[in-house]
Structure 1
Amino acid sequence: MTDDVQRFRLSYGDCDALGIAYFAIYYPWMERTYSSWLHGHGLRSAELAGELGAGTVGVHSEATYLAPVHVFDELTCAPVRERIGTTSYSVGFEFTRDGELVTYGRMTFACRTPEGAKTPIPQRLRELLETLRAATGS
């Protein structure tokens, strides 16, 4: 089994003038965690349409900041299963510091044919999404 989590240590460039994590840094980390999780299970985001007959497009993202995070803090980001629909799904991202949930993110993806039409989530991707641990809530 692959290691589904990513670990990050904040640097000065990740923080504002007060040394607190800048809100926008979480989005690249969510994408990196998601892409690495797919890659670790033999799929690449950019190649889904060719491999599975359907690609994904991001349609929504958000983050809730539960506790301040500071320069040199180490965070762990774990993907979790939120919602699996017919043509779209949401993946949650639990950012923890020393076991404490400090930020919770969410990305929603819609499945599209190579021509751009709505299409069901491919079975292989659905089965992989179902292996994620269920979200515990933010």
Structure 2
Amino acid sequence: MIHRFPVRVYYEDTDMAGIVYYANYLRYIERARSDWVRGLGIDQNAMREEDGVVFVVRRVEADYLSPAKFDDDLVVETTTKSVTGARLVMWQEVKRGGDVLFQAEVTIVCVNEAGAVTRLPANIRRRLH
């Protein structure tokens, strides 16, 4: 299943050359993941309060392929590559029309209140499969 999240490039997203500043792609894909999780019915506040865990990014491997510019309409596509007991690996692409501008493999883990990596809650794993 592919989750699609629209993004409009605003002036504040760009650098002096008028192209999207590289770090903003990470913001775009974070927003898309948050929207995807919410769409699955996962309440991250409840997860923190009831299960004592939160999602954190452990690893990002990213490729910047082509620049986005001011006022572009983009779409972030998110898919699940794999889910294990303690890890969720996502594939995300930022597209303009049919062109892939940015792509990243993102590894997500859960950490407890002490900051230690812990298993994904079973009810969350079931929703991700």
* TM-score, normalised with respect to structure 2: 0.82
For structure 2, the 5+ residue unaligned runs are none
What SS is found at the alignment partner of 1:5?
strand
Structure 2: distance between partners of 1:44 and 1:106: 23
Cα distance change, pair 39–51 in 1 and its aligned pair in 2 (3 A): farther
- The correspondence of residues 1-138 of structure 1 with structure 2, limited to 5 A, is 4-52=3-51, 54-130=53-129
- Tell me how far 1:83 sits from its aligned partner: 2.7
Give, in angstroms, the shift of residue 66 of structure 1: 1.2
Partner of 2:30, secondary structure, is helix
The CA distance in 2 between the partners of 1:37 and 1:6, in whole Å, is: 8
Q: What are structure 1's unaligned runs of at least 5 residues?
A: 131-138
Residue 3 of structure 2 aligns to a residue whose secondary structure is: coil
| 2-structure distance, mates of 1:114, 1:24 | 28
For residue 12 of structure 2, give the secondary structure of its aligned residue in structure 1: helix
> Cα distance 1:17–1:115, how it changes in 2: closer, same or farther (>3 A)?
closer
Paired residue type of 1:97: R
Aligned length: 128
- How far apart are 1:128 and its partner, in Å? 2.6
Aligned counterparts of 2:39 and 2:82: Cα–Cα separation in 1: 21
Residues 80 and 94 in structure 1, CA contact (< 8 A), matched pair in contact too: no
What SS is found at the alignment partner of 2:26? helix
What's the CA shift for 1:115?
4.6
CA RMSD of aligned residues (A): 2.2
